[in-house]
A and B are shown apart, each in its own frame.
Chain A
Amino acid sequence: MLHSRKLILAHFWLAFIAFGAALLLGAWQMFVRSPLSGWISNPEWYYRSLTAHGTVMGYVFPTLVAMGFGYAITESSLKQNLIGRRWAWAGFLLILMGSVVAMVPVSMGLASVLYTFYPPMIGNPLYYIGVVLVVVGSWIWVGLMSINLRIWKKAHPGEAVPLAMFANVAGSYLWAWTAVGAALELLLQIIPVSLGLKSTIDAGLARVFFSWTLHAIVYFWLMPTYIAYYTIVPRAIGGRLYSDTMGRISFILFLVVAMPIGIHHAFADPQVGAGFKFIHSAFTALVALPTLLTVFTICASVEIAARLRGGRGPFGWVTALPWKNPIMLAVAFSFVMLGFGGAGGLINMSYQLDTTIHNTQWITGHFHLIFGGAIVIMYFAIAYDLWPHLTGRSLGSEWLMRTQLWLWFIGMIITTFPWHYVGILGMPRRMAFFDYTSPALQPEALSVAISAFGGFILVISGFLFLAILYRGQFGERNEPGSYSFAQALHMPQKVPAALNGYALWVALMIGLTVTNYGYPILQLALRNDTSVPAVYVGVQ
């Protein structure tokens, strides 16, 4: 039984409305830089739109989904009312405020620096302050998750924390720590320069700080998706979770190794030593482990569901799966996209292969496939699964939901596959237009046009999703009962204390941050000859 329904709905609605708006911007960008459109008369509009798209999709949308889902997990898995609901609303309002404060200068063209900031370019201070407000709002959520779990543990000594909550709190701690990198960059470096208190900035150091955030933020986006894999999917398709312990180990591995590997984003940077690049590369290989474990566990869990439904044979069981169930469809699409995206990720993480595609459109294709594809399609599934419990009404036609998921999957494949291809041809990212009349760029024209069509399909799917949720607010009244999570096939008799708490893992995460980031940061921070003049944008 969910008590804080309004709170959770507010988070989801704000998340999805922001998502819809940013999706439109994204599709417009794909269109204007494709051969389907003439060159825009002011390239700055493109970069303005790109800044808004990235900021909303990267900072606002997934954060709100994780928060709303986290509150729902707290109440349903711990079976206790959320403690600190007022604080939760305060966090929500901070995010709303931060988003508005950040988007005003962006829409006026005063902060077209992209969501990755890119100092020494410096935009309007309100943009950065808005982003900080969003992060601070999400930190309130981190605190609440921790407090709620602690109170529950006190009341239930000796009991194992339910997997959903265990993973949820692990995700919140990961976010709390990984956001620190960008926060340091903003508070110590960018905002003072943006306010005019300083006029120089170390661009290399800023890139190191940002890499601290940039990789693990993807795992923070991923957390709700993985929680859904483990705790929603087996239940929704009538199966069991293969292993509770493996789930815990996967989430802990994410917590420990997702963050101290970010310098692989700086492989091509001149300000980091080769030794640290190698260390980060080695630890990056490690982060594939929890995903490989998850793929096994979830496939096994899905197989259990199929066999319970009478599925037979080494592969024949696949046909016995409930394919009409939107959750089943979503997880299958998600896995296909995760597979392709993960294979691309293996290429990005190796220094030698990365040189071919670094900062080409391959990278944009890659993270749209992983985030926009594998992750976001499970956000849809989470919303479909939770909605009746939030509105007390049935969500209506599963046929519409399946159509929406199919469109998203097809749209994402059509968008990202050509995107990868032109990346291999060496097409750079983030350009407002391209001269396709040149023989050198002609081979890219068709792919870019196809990719833009994929973008249109995604817009249709995205708005169908919003329409389904909106209709769900006015559907038939229907009390769906309590919200539950998947049961493990063999519930472990005893969960090791280490897999029931975080102290050890948080300590390892911080320890690895010190070993992997300490020196690269300090050696630049302590020098005074690496700062360069700020280049203010949006000023005449």
Chain B
Amino acid sequence: MADTHKHGQDIAVRTERNWAFVAILIIVGLAGMAAFAGIHQATMPQAVVETIDPTRLHLGGEFVEANLGSAVEADGSVTVRAIGQQYSFTPACILVPAQTPVTIRATSADVVHGLLVQGTNINTMLVPGYVSVQSATFKAPGEHLMPCQEFCSVGHEGMWGKVKVVSKDEFLSAMSNKKRVSCAP
């Protein structure tokens, strides 16, 4: 009797150990996938933590009104600068070209907001005091909704912006002799 008990226990311990090994393999596999995706730059968290004074955005620096919107960089990529505030984004409609690397730089002027572009992987928090940076490339022309995805007090349900993706040519002609462009009405 004692022998069968011992035998049963050995089997139990062995089975359990095998399962633990499989479980660890699953986890290493998952972590490995994350590491692989990270190294191959599928998407990476923003590289630098940047601070900024939200009360003085309009008084100087990169987020003054005249500097908001889309700008073409020397290398042909596009930088979009935007502000989230109770209860709108400025610019309320962001204009970007398709098939062009876009960097979005955004921050909040008051409380915590979120910037989410539907149908894309653009999704970041806007925390007052810090600058959020995201990179993306829009595949095709079209319109996307851009809701605030974080509760920002009682008008949160009314905080919806837009992203309008146009062809490269259309974008460049909209851009002609302007430093910054948006599709806000």
Which A residues fall within an 8 A CB radius of B?
Answer: 43-44, 46-47, 112, 114, 118, 120-121, 202-204, 207, 242-243, 246, 266-274, 277-278, 281-282, 285-286, 288-289, 292-293, 296-297, 300, 346, 350-352, 355-356, 358-360, 425-426, 428-434, 440, 489-490, 527, 529-533, 535, 537
Contact = CB atoms under 8 A, between A and B. Distances in A.
B111 A121 contact: yes
A426 B147 CA distance: 9
B185 interface: no
B101 interface: no
A293 B20 contact: yes
B129 A351 contact: no
Interface of B: 5, 8-9, 12-13, 15-16, 19-20, 23-24, 26-27, 30-31, 33-34, 37-38, 42-47, 49-51, 53-55, 86, 107, 110-112, 114, 116-119, 121-133, 145, 147-157
A432 B148 CA distance: 13
B176 to A, nearest CB: 30
A429 B118 contact: no
Given A118-B112, A346-B30, A352-B37, A432 B157 contact: yes
Given A243-B16, A434-B157, A118 B130 contact: no
Nearest to B86: A535
Contacts of B24: 289
Given A278-B38, A431-B156, A533-B55, A352 B129 contact: no
A243 B157 contact: no
Contacts of A272: 45, 49
B49 A121 contact: no
A355 B154 contact: no
Main secondary structure of the interface of B (DSSP, over half): mixed
B106 to A, nearest CB: 9
8 contacts: A203-B127, A204-B129, A243-B13, A268-B114, A269-B127, A270-B50, A292-B19, A352-B42
A359 B128 CA distance: 18
A242 B51 contact: no
Which 4 A-B pairs give the minimum distances between C-beta atoms?
A: A426-B118, A292-B23, A359-B149, A431-B157
A537 B153 contact: yes
B129 A202 contact: yes
Contacts of B47: 274
A449 B13 CA distance: 49
B30 A535 contact: no
Contact of A352 (B34, B119, B154): B34
B75 to A, nearest CB: 23
Contact of B43 (A47, A351, A430): A351
B116 A270 contact: no
Contacts, number: 193
A9 to B, nearest CB: 37
A351 B38 contact: yes
Contact of A530 (B46, B51, B122): B51
Contacts of B34: 278, 281-282, 285, 350-352
Nearest to A440: B145
Contacts of B20: 246, 293
A70 B183 CA distance: 59
A86 B172 CA distance: 75
Given A432-B157, A529-B53, A120 B128 contact: yes
B157 A433 contact: yes
B19 A204 contact: no
B123 A359 contact: yes
B51 A112 contact: no
B55 A532 contact: yes
A289 to B, nearest CB: 6
A300 B107 CA distance: 52
B5 to A, nearest CB: 7
Given A288-B30, A350-B33, A530 B129 contact: yes
Nearest to B106: A270
Contacts of B126: 270
B30 A285 contact: yes
Contacts of B19: 292-293, 296
Given A288-B30, A292-B26, A293-B19, 6 more contacts: A352-B38, A355-B122, A359-B116, A430-B150, A431-B147, A537-B153
A281 B27 CA distance: 12
B125 A269 contact: yes
A448 to B, nearest CB: 14
A531 B20 CA distance: 46
Contacts of B46: 270, 274
B154 A47 contact: yes
A434 B116 CA distance: 16
Contacts of A432: 156-157
B17 to A, nearest CB: 10
Contacts of A429: 149-151
Nearest to A357: B123
B112 A490 contact: no
Contacts of A274: 44-47
A389 B151 CA distance: 44
B127 A207 contact: yes
A490 B7 CA distance: 11
A270 B43 contact: no
Contact of B118 (A121, A270, A346, A425): A425
Contacts of A112: 153-154
A433 B158 CA distance: 9
Contacts of B111: 118, 120-121, 203, 535
Contacts of A490: 5, 8-9, 12
B45 A267 contact: yes
A120 B127 CA distance: 9
Contacts of A358: 116, 123, 149
Contact of A268 (B23, B42, B123): B123
A75 B123 CA distance: 49
A270 B153 contact: no
Nearest to B109: A532
A534 to B, nearest CB: 9
B130 A271 contact: yes
Given A121-B111, A271-B127, A243 B12 contact: yes
A352 B118 CA distance: 16
A282 B29 CA distance: 11
A426 B116 contact: yes
